[in-house]
Amino acid sequence: MILSSFNINTQRSVSDKIRLCFWVYLVLLIFEGAMRKWILPQLSNLFLVIREPVTIYVVFLYFKYNLKSNIVKVLFIFSFISFVLTLLFGHHNVLVALYGVRITLLHLPCIFIFGKVITREDIHLIGKAVLYISVLMFIIIVVQYFSPKTAFINIGTGGSG
């Protein structure tokens, strides 16, 4: 079906590696909520950062192969400045600042890196996948609406009722 038309070279050029990372990132983005809520609620904290290894690898590939993108460099500069300003004038908590800077340091640059390598075919596949998934999501929403608060489908994130 959709995955059968997924053409990625086995020799894997840099763009193919990033395309593969894009598809892994997209699948994790779509199914992360269901994993946190229904399938493995005891690991909900882990699923908050499940996409970070993919983004770290994409950023690593960006620097290793010196891909050209000025906006990615600007995002890194702004991320570093905001991190330093947060530590100097904000809450002064390094762990909270690191958790917050991961969005602008990893995820935003990945958007622009992914944008350079995905093809028109990938866009069509994304559209098909989202269309098929939206039917399932509609069914889940209807079941949630007509189920009582205590039903399995209405369990909160992390397994709370």
Write out pLDDT tens, residues 59-89.
999 989 988 888 999 999 999 999 999 999 9
For residue 157, the model assigns a pLDDT of: 60
- Cβ–Cβ under 8 Å, residues 72 and 113: yes
> Residue 132 — pLDDT band, cuts 50, 70, 90?
very high
| Residues 6+ positions from 128 with CB-CB distance below 8 Å | 2
pTM to 2 decimal places: 0.79
Q: Which of 72, 73, 96 is nearest to 83 (CA)?
A: 96
In the numeric block, which tokens belong to residue 59?
A: 């950023």
> Residue 158 — pLDDT band, cuts 50, 70, 90?
low
Give the least confident one: 12-26, 74-88, 143-157. Answer: 143-157
> Residue 110 — pLDDT band, cuts 50, 70, 90?
very high
For residue 112, the model assigns a pLDDT of: 93
CA 87 from centre of chain: 26
